[in-house]
Amino acid sequence: MRLKAILAFGGCLAALLGFNVQAAPTHALTVYGEAPRYPQQFQHFQYTNPDAPKGGSLRRSAIEIGQFDHILPYIDKGIGVSEIDGWLYSPLAVRSLDEPYTVYGLVARRMERADDGLWLRFYLDPKARFADGKPIRAEDVRFTYDLLLRDGSLKYRTQFADVADVVVESPTQVRFDFKTNQNRTLALDLASLPVLPEHWWRNR
């Protein structure tokens, strides 16, 4: 009887421990699940100046950006302007420049990765807006993903080959299902995608 009781207790303890390590929403994603450098609700990266002047104009020389025949660098045909998309559209999460590959939620307020690595969920910030003031929604995330894979550069089809499905769970919640959990950077690469406004790009 004592042995059965010990085994039963051990089973309950294992179940409780297993429950405690289930996936939970987080403000940052790292490649191997290590702790990020910055805590929740941090105000700015240490290498940035929150008091820097805002406003003005940005001018880039042809020597810096090279020749181009269209603006956004999402397709292989022709030459787009490098890095300009970062000034136009915000990604789900932004990469930190002072630590190994780590991203922090931007459009996505929280991110949740399955313990088995087979899905990734984004919780969008309800306050997130496009430049025209319209809210950023989960449908925009799925639209962006579908558009880039269908009409975008070959690199997207290669980079995201292990994505099985994109599921809109609510207006502010979207989940990516994976075919395998062997690609450790897939979650971070998806989080780095810009979010394009479906209402603007749908019929263009």
The amino acid that residue 120 corresponds to is L
- Arithmetic mean of pLDDT, 139-143: 98
Domains and CATH numbers, the chain: 90-202 (3.90.76.10)
How far apart (Å, rounded) are the C-alpha atoms in residues 93 and 115? 20
Ranking 8-12, 89-93, 135-139, 200-204 by mean pLDDT, the lowest is: 8-12
Is the pLDDT confidence value at 172 over 80? yes
Is the pLDDT confidence value at 204 over 90? no
The confidence score (pLDDT) of residue 174 equals 99
Please list, in sequence order, all residues whose beta carbon lies within 8 angstroms of the beta carbon of residue 19, skipping any fewer than 6 positions away. none
Please list, in sequence order, all residues whose beta carbon lies within 8 angstroms of the beta carbon of residue 7, skipping any fewer than 6 positions away. none
Q: Which two tokens stand for residue 56?
A: 């003005």
Asked if 110 and 26 touch (Cβ cutoff 8 Å), the reply is yes
Is the pLDDT confidence value at 101 over 60? yes
Is the pLDDT confidence value at 15 over 50? no
Q: Angle at CA 14, nearest 5°, toward 9 and 1?
A: 20
The confidence score (pLDDT) of residue 88 equals 79
Label residue 19 by pLDDT band (50, 70, 90). Answer: very low
Regarding predicted confidence, which is higher, 53 or 19? 53
How far apart (Å, rounded) are the C-alpha atoms in residues 124 and 59? 32
Regarding predicted confidence, which is higher, 145 or 4? 145
**Across the chain, what does the average pLDDT equal?**
85
Share of the chain above pLDDT 90, in %: 65
Is the pLDDT confidence value at 20 over 90? no
pLDDT, tens digit, 9 for 90 and up, residues 34-47: 999 999 999 999 99
Is the pLDDT confidence value at 2 over 60? no
pLDDT, tens digit, 9 for 90 and up, residues 43-99: 999 999 999 998 888 776 665 556 665 556 666 676 666 666 667 789 999 999 999
CA distances in angstroms from 187 to 42, 68, 73, 182, listed in the order given: 22, 31, 22, 11
- Residue 142 in 3-state DSSP? helix
Nearest CA-CA partner of 99 in 188, 19, 9, 7? 188
